[in-house]
Homo-oligomer: A and B are copies of this chain.
Amino acid sequence: MTPIGFEAHDHADCVRTTLEQAEKVCKARRLRLTPIRRRALEILLAEHRALGAYDLLAVLAAEGLGTAPPVAYRALDFLTSAGFAHKIEGLNAYIACAHLGADHTPAFLICTACKSVAEAETQTTKGRLAEAARDSGFHIERTVIEALGLCPACQDAA
């Protein structure tokens, strides 16, 4: 049991079902969840925390799955473009998607102390940003919505 959205949950179960989901999606969309990519996703899933590309690489390297940076970045490219993981721009780090399957406009609450991350869904077509974009004729391709701060646990610690 480790926190997700800063609350306890059945982690083993959440990892397993997410991997199953990912496999299903890959089958449906003809994507290849190769050993490296699968393992990278597992590693990200193992924590509900943001991992740096080089953190991920270190784990992959320890398991003989590749030693050079492109190994990690390619896996992350695949996972992020498939929607299985997200980049946390505020930390230059990566996290497994918590709502796999849903069409995404994720928003994150990120604890800068322990790097745990809660993922919320938002609606693409609502909100100020979308409004501002419509008003000015701007075409949105991707949104980055992140709140950096302290999770309840780390507030207590401080």
Contact = CB atoms under 8 A, between A and B. Distances in A.
A148 to B, nearest CB: 5
B141 A144 contact: no
Interface string A142-158: 11111111111001000
Interface residues of A, number: 35
Contacts of A148: 140-144
Given A109-B129, A118-B138, 9 more contacts: A109-B140, A112-B141, A138-B151, A141-B148, A141-B150, A142-B149, A144-B146, A144-B147, A145-B145
Interface of A: 5-7, 89-90, 107, 109, 111-112, 118, 120, 122, 127-129, 132-133, 136-152, 155
